[in-house]
């Protein structure tokens, strides 16, 4: 599903963000990526979504070789990868239904498809009945559920959750983690980045630790040891 083979990323200012990264993630895995600020987690995600291009090494995602992909096909690649951020990134002037529908509209989906798909994903994330609410009327946990619904509505094979609990209280944080586990059980590969040691250690899932641009540990049942 995801292969990073000796991937290095150096920025124009000569700073080394990643050095010789080797990672292989199987379909339907749930993997947590940890590391201190500046360790290289964000760069790894940007390489995966093709926001950045590696300096050297090979990246293959879902059989697509990033070295040979045509520029015009990058948007299609990104539709196969859902991304959820810490700060939600919702459109304040649109209600819940419209926020989720927007992800389909920009991908060229028609009205009938949107009306069929959005209610299904809202029910999946536990927001049935919240269609008409605006972001300001929702709790932090509900806003993150909207963000997850928006990332899922195009049925991506991979979901990246980048610090999705960073702005949430412990109760809402655990509810979001339970939702990510549920999504993973349905067959979506989930990559979670977090600084929350309690969550990482309780999950008892694979943990990849990045330190100074290198893979420090890759454990099938890992702990947050930084």
Domains and CATH numbers, the chain: 1-80+156-226 (3.40.50.300), 90-155 (no CATH)
Q: What pLDDT is stored for residue 179 in this prediction?
A: 96
1 or 159, which is more confident: 159
Q: What pLDDT is stored for residue 20 in this prediction?
A: 97
For 138-148, write each residue's pLDDT tens digit. Answer: 999 999 999 99
What b-and-e string marks burial along 114-140, b requiring 16 or more CB atoms within 10 Å of the CB? beebbeebbebbbbeebeeeebeebee
Farthest-apart Cα atoms in the chain, separation: 51
Is 0.95 surpassed by the pTM of this model?
no
Considering the chain, what is the average pLDDT of its residues?
94
Q: What pLDDT is stored for residue 226 in this prediction?
A: 59
What percent of the chain stands above pLDDT 70?
99
Q: What pLDDT is stored for residue 225 in this prediction?
A: 67
For 36-86, write each residue's pLDDT tens digit. Answer: 988 999 999 999 999 999 999 999 999 999 999 998 999 888 889 999 988
């Amino acid at each position: 599903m995801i292969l990073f083979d000796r991937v290095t990323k150096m920025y124009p200012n000569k700073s080394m963000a990643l050095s010789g990264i080797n990672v292989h993630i199987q379909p339907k895995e749930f993997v947590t990526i940890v590391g201190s600020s500046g360790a290289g987690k964000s760069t790894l995600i940007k390489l995966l979504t093709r926001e950045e291009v590696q300096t050297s090494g090979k990246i293959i995602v879902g059989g697509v070789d990033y070295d040979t992909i045509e520029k015009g096909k990058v948007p299609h690649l990104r539709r196969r990868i859902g991304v959820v951020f810490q700060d939600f990134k919702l459109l304040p002037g649109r209600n819940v239904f419209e926020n989720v529908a927007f992800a389909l509209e920009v991908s060229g989906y028609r009205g009938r498809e949107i009306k069929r798909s959005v209610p299904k994903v809202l029910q999946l994330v536990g927001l049935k009945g919240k269609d008409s609410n605006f972001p300001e009327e929702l709790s932090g946990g509900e806003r993150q559920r909207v963000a997850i619904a928006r990332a899922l509505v195009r049925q991506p094979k991979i979901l990246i959750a980048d610090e999705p609990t960073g702005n949430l209280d412990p109760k809402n944080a655990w509810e979001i983690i339970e939702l990510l586990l549920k999504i993973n059980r349905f067959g979506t590969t989930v990559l979670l980045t977090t600084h929350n040691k309690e969550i990482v250690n309780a999950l008892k899932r694979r943990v990849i630790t990045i330190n100074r641009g290198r893979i420090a540990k890759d454990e099938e049942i890992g702990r947050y040891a930084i």
